[in-house]
Structure 1
Amino acid sequence: MILAIDIGNTNIVVGCIDENEIYFTERLSTVRTKTELEYAVDLKTILDIYHIKKTEIEGCIISSVVPQITNIAKLAVEKILKKKVMVLGPGIKTGLNILMDNPGQLGADLVADAVAASNNYPAPLIVIDMGTATTVSVLNDKKQYIGGMILPGVGLSLDALTSRASQLGGIGIEAPKHLIGKNTTECMKSGIIYSSAASLDGIVERIEEELGTEATVVATGGLAKKIIPYCKKKITLDEELLLKGLLIIYEKNNK
C-alpha cells in the first residue's frame, strides 16, 4: 500500500492505494499558509480515522500544481512515515510520450491522469479533469499525449456569475428540478449544469473530428460527478483515476 497525494489549487486529494484496492480517498482544503506540522497533523488524523498504521504504508508519491506547498507537504509526510517521498516531476519515469512544445510544462496531475487512462482504457483517449480549472487531455491511438485544452472550471464560472450580478446570490452546484428554470435559483443551477455538460459534449465532438475517429472519454476530478450525468456523449466517470496513475508511476520508479 502507498500513500498518494495530489495537491491542487482548491483541494488536496489524499488516498491509500495498492494494486487491488483503494482503501480511502479524502480531500483537504489547499491552504498556502499552513505549516509542515499542520499538514502532518491533518495527514495523521486521516490515517487514524481509517485505522491505517504507518508501518502498513510502503511509501508515498506526491503530484502538485502548487509549488509553494509541494515541499511542505513532502516534509509533512516524511515526518509521519519516516520514509523518503517521491515527487512527480523531472527525473521521474512515467512511460508517457508527451508530444508538446514544452513537455516540462505539463502539470503533474495531467501526467498522472494520462498514465492511468492509457493503462486502463483503449486509445485514442480524451481525459477530462474537472477541478478549479477543467482540463482536457488527448492521447492518440499510439497512447502519445498530443495536447489538450484548459477552460474555466465549473466553480470559477459560478463564482464569476454570482460576483458580477448583485441580484444573484450564491448557490450550490446541483441539478435543478427543471431544465427550464422556474425561478432565479433554478435558472442559475440549470445554466451552470447544462452549459457545462453541453460544453463537454461539444469539445469531445470537435476533438473527435480533428482525430478523425471516435475516442474513449474518461472524466475525473472533484466536480465531474456533478456534470457528467447530464452529458449526452458517452463519458466514463473514474473518480480515482489520478490516484491510479500515481500508483503506476510509483511502481515504475521502484522496480
Structure 2
Amino acid sequence: MILAIDIGNTNIVIGCMDGKKCVFIERLSTVRTKTELEYAIDIKNVLDIYHIKRADLEGGIISSVVPQITTIVKLAVEKILKKEPLIVGAGIKTGLNIRIDNPAQLGSDLVVDSVAAIAEYPVPLLVFDMGTANTVCVIDKNKNYIGGMIYPGIGVSLDSLTANASQLGGISLEAPEHIIGKNTVECMKSGTIYSAAAAIDGIIDRLAEELDGDVTVVATGGLAGKIVPHCRREIRLDEDLLLKGLAVIYQKNQR
C-alpha cells in the first residue's frame, strides 16, 4: 500500500492505494503558512482515522501545483514514512507522450490525470478536472497528450460574482428544484450549476469535432460530483482518478 498526495491550490488530496484499489480519499485545506510538523500531524491524523500504520505503507508519491509547499509536505511525509517519497516532475517516469510546445510546462496534476485515464479508459479521451481552475486534458487515439484547456473554476467565478455585485451574497453549490429561479438565491444557484454543466457539454462538442469522432469523457476533482449529473453528454465520474494515476506512476518508478 502506498500513500498518495496531490497538492492543489485549494485542497490537498490524500489517500492510500493498495494496488489498483483506493483504500480512502480525503481532502485537507491547502495552507501555505503551515510547517512540515503541522502537515505531518494532519496527514498522520487522517491515517489514524483509517487505522493505517507506518508499517502498512511501502512508500509515498506526491504531485503538486503549489511549489511553495511541495518541499514542506515532502518533509512531512518523510517524518511519517521514514523514507523519501517520489515527487512527480523532472526525472520521473510517467509513460505519457506529451505533444505540446513545451512539455515541461504541463502541470503535474494534468500528467497524473492523463496517465490514470489512459490506463483505465478507451481513447481518444477528454479529462475534466474541476477545482480552483477547470482543466481539460485532450488525449488522441494514439494515447498522446496533445493539449488541453484551462478556464476559471466554479468557486473562482462565484467568488468574483459576489465580490463585484454588491447585492449578491454567498450561496451553497446545490442545484435548485427548477432551472428558472424564483428568487435571488435560486437564480444564482441555477446560473452557477447549469452554466458550468452547459459549458462542459459545449466544450465536449467542440473538442470531439476536432478529434474527428467519438470520445470518452472522464471528470474528476472536488466539484465534479456537483456538476456532472446536470450535463447532457455521457461523462464518467471518477473521483479517485488522481490517486490511481499516482499509483501507476509510483509502480513505473520502482526498480
TM superposition score category, shorter chain reference: over 0.9
Query: How big is the shift at 1:21?
Result: 2.0
Q: Counterpart in 2 of 1:61?
A: 61
**SS of aligned partner of 1:92:** coil
Work out whether residues 77 and 85 of structure 2, in 8 Å CA contact, stay in contact via their aligned partners in 1: yes
Q: Counterpart in 2 of 1:50?
A: 50
Please list, as runs of the form range in 1=range in 2, the aligned pairs for 1:65-84 lying within 5 A after superposition. 65-84=65-84
- Say whether 1:190 aligns with 2:176: no
Query: How big is the shift at 1:80?
Result: 1.0
**Number of residue pairs matched?**
255
Deviations 1:146-171 (A, max 9, x none): 00000000111111111111111100
Q: Counterpart in 1 of 2:30?
A: 30
Which AA in structure 1 matches 2:24?
Answer: F
Q: Counterpart in 2 of 1:12?
A: 12
Please list, as runs of the form range in 1=range in 2, the aligned pairs for 1:88-107 lying within 5 A after superposition. 88-107=88-107
Query: How big is the shift at 1:225?
Result: 0.2
**Distance in 1 of aligned mates of 2:240 and 2:231:** 20
**Distance in 2 of aligned mates of 1:61 and 1:176:** 40
Q: Counterpart in 1 of 2:112?
A: 112
Q: Counterpart in 2 of 1:125?
A: 125
**Distance in 2 of aligned mates of 1:228 and 1:20:** 24
TM-score (norm 1): 0.99
Which AA in structure 2 matches 1:29?
Answer: S
Q: Counterpart in 1 of 2:234?
A: 234
Query: How big is the shift at 1:83?
Result: 1.1
Which AA in structure 1 matches 2:140?
Answer: N
Q: Counterpart in 2 of 1:169?
A: 169
**Distance in 2 of aligned mates of 1:206 and 1:220:** 20
Gaps of 5+ in 1: none
**Distance in 2 of aligned mates of 1:229 and 1:89:** 33
Work out whether residues 95 and 115 of structure 2, in 8 Å CA contact, stay in contact via their aligned partners in 1: yes
Work out whether residues 20 and 244 of structure 2, in 8 Å CA contact, stay in contact via their aligned partners in 1: no
Structure 1 runs (4+) deviating above 6 angstroms are: none
Deviations 1:2-24 (A, max 9, x none): 00000000000000012242111
Q: Counterpart in 2 of 1:219?
A: 219
**Distance in 1 of aligned mates of 2:197 and 2:18:** 33
**Distance in 1 of aligned mates of 2:76 and 2:251:** 22
**SS of aligned partner of 1:136:** strand
- Say whether 1:244 aligns with 2:241: no
Over the aligned positions, Cα root-mean-square deviation in angstroms equals 0.6
Work out whether residues 20 and 247 of structure 2, in 8 Å CA contact, stay in contact via their aligned partners in 1: no
TM-score (norm 2): 0.99
- Say whether 1:148 aligns with 2:148: yes
Deviations 1:75-123 (A, max 9, x none): 0000111011100000000000000100010000000000000010000
Q: Counterpart in 2 of 1:210?
A: 210
**SS of aligned partner of 1:217:** strand
**Distance in 2 of aligned mates of 1:20 and 1:250:** 12
